[in-house]
């Protein structure tokens, strides 16, 4: 019942917005605007074009960083998953990257790469890549042995085993990693704009806060969350289309 | 006592009169310090079904995977149609215990997998696959996904995939152990038909004594510690009496009893 799922999602969103509205009306804090105020600010910014200018700026490091993380992350993940040597060589780097307190390291990045696009892309990559690499490699390592044996016994060459068996079998976990990585990338993009130089959406957030225009500040935060949710849904649809039978889990389970 | 009874009804030399499709010579396989197989030799007559039967841990699946070329023996050789083999080849096809169907691929795509890897063109391989899907009784399910099928139907897909590549030797690793009892009986009857009609050699791993005696032309009993072929039994009289009469044939019942007598002490 896909309709029921959609209904529940809408209901959940309504409850959240309602709670927000009530919390804003009480108000829980002077700095916490109501939902309707925030939406009003969002439409004002959209109408004046400020919002779109900001996104033109923010999307650059975000898109570049996420694309680099996805491609390099999956490639390195496959590599690490298929070979013990590369596992030992690369895994520690990504585990350290994932655990590192990034906000504290940003000054070092700025020292090395300046305050331009490079540093921001790096922040997005450091946020997004480790989880993509680690998920991909563990998914590849856990390909059911009988799938690989099936490939070999039916004379599949090595590259066919990788493309036709290992990658599709790993795809649910790879996509889970992508989803986590992309969400982390969104956080990284905003973090970069708050910590390196205030541009784009980060600028709206910083500036609105400094002049106590809280509805605009929350509108900017709301818009980035909305964009992330929409993008994650798109990713999920892509997965469903690409690997149809996979949703029901493995036959051998 | 039990042994002599078997020998009465099964004159062993029969094996030598038929050409071997697969010969296994002096195979040993060690996993580190664990000896899975020791100096094992066995002949698999052409066009017949040979069962590898034994308690768990006797190395029967290991032997099957060595014949398939999926595992490398520590020493010894495998010959298929007189040629030594060390890797999977077009002369052998494998049916897996857990079916090993690709869950993201339709029945048709699963059955054509082997043909595709052999470079057969799309329309030709789909025609071949459709024929075998129909043969195993799954016509109409070509575009279903494995998760939409029952366990028995899934193994029929696995069987169709192995038949489609038209290999001389069919290697079956406990193919019916994951399906329910009634489906299993039907499979066993169908398998007898397959052995008669397809001119192929079957090597069949099972842990069920009844199943082995029911379907086999030759039963190799493997024992562990150290792993070896303890005896080869060739049931001779009940095969032509029809599928319905096999299970109450005195020879069938005797062989089942005798095999159990010799395996009993190895089962914990």
Q: How confident is the model at residue B14 (pLDDT cuts 50, 70, 90)?
A: very low
Task: State the residue for tokens 């209901």.
Answer: A11
Interface residues from chain B to A (CB-CB < 8 Å): 65, 68-70, 88-90, 92-94, 96-106, 113-114, 117-118, 145-147, 154, 161, 165, 171
Mutant choice from A154, A156, A160, A239 vs B, greatest count of B C-beta within 10 A: A154
Q: Which among B58, B28, B52 is positioned nearest to B40, based on CA atoms?
A: B28
What is the rounded CA–CA span in Å between residue B99 and residue A251?
8
**What single DSSP character describes residue A143?**
S
Residues in B closer than 8 angstroms to A151, CB to CB, are 117
The answer to whether the beta carbons of residues A37 and A215 sit under 8 Å apart is yes
**CA-CA-CA-CA torsion for A223, A225, A227, A232, nearest 10 degrees?**
-170
Mutant choice from A145, A151, A155 vs B, greatest count of B C-beta within 10 A: A155
**A253: nearest CA partner in chain B:** B98
pLDDT in tens, B217-237: 999 999 886 778 888 999 887
**A152: nearest CA partner in chain B:** B88
For B99, the closest of A156, A244, A252 (CB atoms) is A252
For B117, the closest of A160, A245, A252 (CB atoms) is A160
Q: What's the pLDDT at A246? A: 65
Residues 132-151 of A with CB under 8 A from B: 144, 146-147, 149-151
Q: Which among B199, B140, B200, B205 is positioned nearest to B177, based on CA atoms?
A: B205
What is the rounded CA–CA span in Å between residue B137 and residue B143?
14
pLDDT in tens, A188-203: 999 999 989 889 999 9
Q: How confident is the model at residue B166 (pLDDT cuts 50, 70, 90)?
A: very high
Q: Where are the alpha helices (DSSP H) in A154-213?
A: 158-160, 167-195, 200-210
List, as own/partner pairs, every contact residues B184-190 make where C-beta atoms lie below 8 angstroms and the sequence separation is at least 24, other chains included.
B184/B211, B186/B152, B187/B152, B187/B155, B188/B214, B188/B215, B189/B243
Residues in B closer than 8 angstroms to A244, CB to CB, are 104, 145
**Mean pLDDT, chain A, integer:** 90
What is the rounded CA–CA span in Å between residue A234 and residue B146?
26
For A245, the closest of B70, B105, B161 (CB atoms) is B105
- Looking at CA atoms only, how far is residue B133 from chain A in angstroms? 17
Q: Which tokens belong to A80?
A: 């690490």
CB pairs under 8 A between A and B: 83
Q: How confident is the model at residue A244 (pLDDT cuts 50, 70, 90)?
A: low
How many CB atoms within 10 Å of residue B187?
20
How many CB atoms within 10 Å of residue A211?
9
Q: What's the pLDDT at B248? A: 85
The answer to whether the beta carbons of residues A154 and B163 sit under 8 Å apart is no
What is the rounded CA–CA span in Å between residue A45 and residue A64?
25
With a CB cutoff of 8 Å and minimum separation 6, the contacts of A168 are A243, A246, B102, B104
Computed over its alpha carbons, how large is the radius of gyration of chain B?
18
Q: What's the pLDDT at A253? A: 36
Q: Which among A147, A160, A167 is positioned nearest to A250, based on CA atoms?
A: A147
A150–B94: do the CB atoms touch at under 8 Å?
yes
Q: What's the pLDDT at A159? A: 93
What is the rounded CA–CA span in Å between residue B175 and residue A120?
56
What is the rounded CA–CA span in Å between residue B261 and residue B231?
13
List, as own/partner pairs, every contact residues B197-201 make where C-beta atoms lie below 8 angstroms and the sequence separation is at least 24, other chains included.
B198/B163, B199/B47, B200/B47, B200/B167, B200/B168, B200/B169, B200/B170, B201/B21, B201/B22, B201/B44, B201/B45, B201/B46, B201/B47, B201/B48, B201/B49, B201/B50, B201/B168, B201/B169, B201/B170
Q: What's the pLDDT at A219? A: 94
pLDDT, mean of residues B65-82 = 94
Q: How many residues does chain B have?
A: 268
For A244, the closest of B65, B92, B145 (CB atoms) is B145
Q: Which among B16, B91, B54, B114 is positioned nearest to B260, based on CA atoms?
A: B54
What is the rounded CA–CA span in Å between residue A188 and residue A182?
9
pLDDT in tens, A39-90: 999 999 999 999 999 999 999 999 999 999 999 999 999 999 999 899 999 8
Q: What's the pLDDT at B52? A: 94
What is the rounded CA–CA span in Å between residue B12 and residue B14?
5
Q: Which tokens belong to B151?
A: 């366990």
- Looking at CA atoms only, how far is residue A164 from chain B in angstroms? 9
Three-class DSSP category at A204: helix
Q: What's the pLDDT at A120? A: 93
Q: Give the residue range(s) of CATH 3.40.50.300 domains in chain B.
A: 2-91+169-266
pLDDT in tens, B23-34: 999 999 988 888
What is the rounded CA–CA span in Å between residue A84 and residue A1?
44
- Where does A35-240 sit in CATH, by number? 1.10.3720.10
B69–A153: do the CB atoms touch at under 8 Å?
yes
Q: What's the pLDDT at B17? A: 63
B113–A154: do the CB atoms touch at under 8 Å?
yes
Residues in B closer than 8 angstroms to A250, CB to CB, are 103
Task: State the residue for tokens 């939409």.
Answer: B148
Mutant choice from B100, B108, B118 vs A, greatest count of A C-beta within 10 A: B100
- Where does B2-91+169-266 sit in CATH, by number? 3.40.50.300
Residue B37 φ/ψ, nearest 5 degrees? -140, 140
Q: Is the pTM of this model over 0.90?
A: no
For A153, the closest of B88, B103, B104 (CB atoms) is B88
> What is the separation of C-alpha A207 from the centre of its chain, rounded to a whole number of angstroms?
25
With a CB cutoff of 8 Å and minimum separation 6, the contacts of B29 are B35, B36, B37, B59, B62, B66, B71, B73, B74
Q: Quick one: angle between helices B107-117 and B151-164, nearest 10?
A: 30
Share of chain B above pLDDT 70, in %: 93
- Looking at CA atoms only, how far is residue B258 from chain A in angstroms? 34
A243–B93: do the CB atoms touch at under 8 Å?
no
Q: How confident is the model at residue A148 (pLDDT cuts 50, 70, 90)?
A: very high
Distances (CA, A) of A85 to A4, A8, A79, A89, B222: 48, 47, 9, 6, 39
Q: What's the pLDDT at A1? A: 54
pLDDT in tens, A217-242: 999 999 999 999 999 989 888 888 88
Residues in A closer than 8 angstroms to B65, CB to CB, are 149
Q: Which tokens belong to B227?
A: 């792993």
Q: Which tokens belong to B143?
A: 């575009």
Q: A165 CB near a chain B CB, below 8 Å?
A: yes
pLDDT, mean of residues A195-217 = 92
Q: ipTM of this predicted complex?
A: 0.86
């Amino acid at each position: 019942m896909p309709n029921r799922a959609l209904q529940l999602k809408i209901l959940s969103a309504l409850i959240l917005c309602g709670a927000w509205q009530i919390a804003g009306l009480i108000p829980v804090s002077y700095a916490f605007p109501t939902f309707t105020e925030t939406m009003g600010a969002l439409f004002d910014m959209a109408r004046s074009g400020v919002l779109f200018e900001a996104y033109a700026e923010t999307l650059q490091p975000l898109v570049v960083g996420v694309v680099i993380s996805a491609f390099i992350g999956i490639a390195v993940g496959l590599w690490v998953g298929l070979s013990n040597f590369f596992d030992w060589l690369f895994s520690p780097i990504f585990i350290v990257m994932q655990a590192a307190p990034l906000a504290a390291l940003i000054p070092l990045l700025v020292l090395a790469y300046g305050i331009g696009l490079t540093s921001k892309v790096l922040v997005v990559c450091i946020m997004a890549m480790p989880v993509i690499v680690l998920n991909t490699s563990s998914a590849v390592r856990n390909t059911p042995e009988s799938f690989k044996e099936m490939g070999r016994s039916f004379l599949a060459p090595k590259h066919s085993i990788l493309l036709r068996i290992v990658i599709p079998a790993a795809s649910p976990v790879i996509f889970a990693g992508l989803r986590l990585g992309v969400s982390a990338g969104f956080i990284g993009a905003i973090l970069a704009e708050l910590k390196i130089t205030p541009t784009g959406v980060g600028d709206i957030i910083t500036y609105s806060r400094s002049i106590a225009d809280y509805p605009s500040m929350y509108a900017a935060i709301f818009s980035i969350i909305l964009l992330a949710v929409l993008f994650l849904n798109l990713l999920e649809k892509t997965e469903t289309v690409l690997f149809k039978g996979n949703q029901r889990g493995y036959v051998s389970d | 006592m039990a042994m002599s009874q078997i020998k009465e009804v099964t004159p062993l030399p029969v094996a030598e009169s038929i050409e071997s499709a697969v010969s296994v010579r002096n195979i040993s396989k060690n996993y580190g310090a664990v000896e899975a197989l020791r100096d094992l030799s066995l002949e698999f007559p052409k066009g017949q079904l040979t069962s590898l039967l034994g308690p768990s841990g006797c190395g029967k699946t290991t032997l099957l995977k060595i014949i398939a070329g999926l595992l490398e023996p520590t020493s010894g050789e495998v010959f298929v149609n007189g040629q030594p083999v060390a890797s999977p080849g077009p002369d052998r096809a494998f049916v897996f215990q857990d079916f090993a169907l690709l869950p993201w691929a339709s029945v048709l795509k699963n059955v054509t997998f082997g043909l595709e890897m052999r470079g057969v063109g799309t329309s030709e391989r789909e025609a071949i696959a459709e024929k075998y899907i129909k043969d195993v009784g799954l016509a109409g399910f070509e575009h279903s996904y494995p998760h939409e099928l029952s366990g028995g139907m899934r193994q029929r897909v696995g069987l169709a995939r192995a038949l489609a590549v038209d290999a001389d030797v069919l290697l079956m690793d406990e193919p019916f152990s994951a399906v329910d009892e009634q489906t299993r009986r039907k499979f066993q009857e169908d398998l007898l038909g397959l052995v008669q009609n397809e001119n192929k050699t079957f090597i069949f791993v099972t842990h069920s004594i009844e199943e082995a005696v029911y379907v086999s032309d030759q039963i190799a009993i493997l024992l562990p510690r150290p792993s070896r072929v303890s005896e080869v039994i060739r049931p001779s009289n009940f095969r032509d009496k029809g599928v319905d009469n096999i299970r109450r044939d005195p020879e069938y019942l005797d062989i089942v009893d005798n095999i159990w007598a010799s395996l009993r002490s190895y089962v914990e």
